[in-house]
Every structure is written in C-alpha cells, then in structure tokens.
Structure 1
Amino acid sequence: MHELTDAEATTLGTWQVRVSRALHDVTGCVKTYVAQFAEVEGFAHVHFHVMPRMGNLSQELRGPRVFELLRRPAQQRVATDLVDDIARSLHARLTSSSELSE
C-alpha cells in the first residue's frame, strides 16, 4: 500500500466506495468489509477482499471472523447460480452511466 502513488490511492479509494455502494444496492447488506492481505508467496501485488455483511450475520462471524464462512461445507455456501446473478448485477451497477458519474 505504501508504494501506491497519490493518483493510484485516489483511484483505489474511489473504487472501494463504488464497490461498497454497489454491494449495498445489489445485496441489501448493512455493511461492507474491506480487507487487504499480501502475505502469500508469489503474490507481490495488492488485492482486496470486498465482502457484504448482511444484517442477519451472527455476532460470532462478524469482523475478521467472517472468513470462517469460507470453511463451511459446500451445501452451506451461497449457490453458484445466485453468485453468478449477484456478479452480473454488480457488473451492471458498476458499469452504468449513473454510477460512473457518482
């Protein structure tokens, strides 16, 4: 993160807000979690996890514990077709002319 130029940092901040707004609009989440890790060998780039936090998420899974959801059995995860629908809706929201002007 410390190596980003001011212009890159500005763009990053703008995109994180845009994605957060889109997730709220598409999923109805009450919060958006943004996490950045760069610890895995071979990943010298910066990447972020942007996650919608739904209102009914149990207290035990809030904050950084949200990653525990990745350990759930496949039958407890969001269905693939729903994930695809959400992704298409996010894409549409993020590429709409009204979002580009915000």
Structure 2
Amino acid sequence: MECLSCLSLRGERSISPGPIVYEGTYWMVDHAYPTIHLGWLVILPRRHVEALHELSREEFLELAEIQYRLAQTMHLDSYVQKEYLMCFAESKGFSHVHIHMVPKPADLPDEHKGPRIFERLKADEEHPIIPADELTAFCDEFTRKLSAIK
C-alpha cells in the first residue's frame, strides 16, 4: 500500500481538510482527521522514515523544538490539563513515522484516558467528526498562537 503520509506531504491527498499548522525544515504539523477531538496534531517528517532510529540528529533537534512549542501553545488554552505524545507508525498506510500530540482536557472521560485516547479518532452518530470549517478555524488560530511562542 502506498504511504498515505507521503501522499499528503506531496500535496496529492491531504489527510486533513484544515491548513498545515507548521512547516519546518525537516517536519510539518497537520491536524489529525477524521477525529472527534479538536486539537489532535500529528508531527510528520518531511521525508519517508519508518523508524525513529532512521532520523538524523538535526531532525531530532528540530522535533524537540516543535514539541516544546506545540506543548506551550496547547497549554495556553485553559481546558488543556496536559499533553499526550505518542509514536507507533504501525497502521496500514501509515508506517511513515508520525508523532501524535494531543491536548488532554480535564473533563476527558475515563474511557478515553491514556492510550484509549485513540478511540477519539473514531466517529459515530453520537460523536460526529469535527466539521471542516471548525477544524480550519482551529488550525488558523493555533498557528497564530504558535508563531508567538519562541
């Protein structure tokens, strides 16, 4: 199966209907989609890499800076209690390394805490997918806030 992350990075098949949140030298940040969890960000290396040990020192240094800035920006919102950070790169079509950075609100239901947060990538009638216009507005505002974090 073709790498869905690479397709998105090349602009051939976007993962999210929202705008890119951040573009660096080695990494970019996009909003996960579909999801019921607004603010679920995905950090992607700009080149195809399937394991963390394949990253260069320079890529790791930029990744650390991005993670710091994303965490600080997420925490500007009072509803964010902490941030989750995960990397598996095991799903079909997504073996390309990608790091999930997810704001954890104080009122997150117990059944979605910890690794069970991935349930929020699934949508159903009770939990509809975030509308594209709402996701776009969030990404635009988050990008504005992120640019102020140094």
Range of TM-score over shorter length: 0.7 to 0.9
Q: 1:92 — aligned with what?
A: 144
RMSD of the alignment, in Å?
2.2
Unaligned runs of 5+ in 1: none
Tell me, in whole angstroms, the C-alpha distance in 2 between the residues paired with 1:72 and 1:38. 21
TM-score norm. by structure 1 comes to 0.78
**1:85/1:8 Cα in 2 relative to 1: closer, same or farther (>3 Å)?**
same
Unaligned runs of 5+ in 2: 1-51
Tell me, in whole angstroms, the C-alpha distance in 2 between the residues paired with 1:40 and 1:56. 28
CA contact (8 A) 1:32 1:52 kept: yes
**1:25/1:77 Cα in 2 relative to 1: closer, same or farther (>3 Å)?**
farther
Which structure has the higher relative contact order (CA within 8 Å, separation 6+)?
Answer: 2
The structure with the largest strand share of the pair is 2
Matched, 1:37 2:88: yes
Matched, 1:70 2:121: yes
Q: Which amino acid aligns with 1:22?
A: T
**1:7/1:78 Cα in 2 relative to 1: closer, same or farther (>3 Å)?**
same
Name whichever of 75-84 and 6-15 sits farther off: 75-84
Find runs of 4+ consecutive structure 1 residues off by over 4 angstroms.
Answer: 41-44
Q: How far did 1:28 drift? A: 3.2
Q: How far did 1:95 drift? A: 2.2
Matches within 5 A, 1:39-54: 39-54=90-105
Name whichever of 48-57 and 35-44 sits farther off: 35-44
**1:15/1:48 Cα in 2 relative to 1: closer, same or farther (>3 Å)?**
same
Percent sequence identity is 31
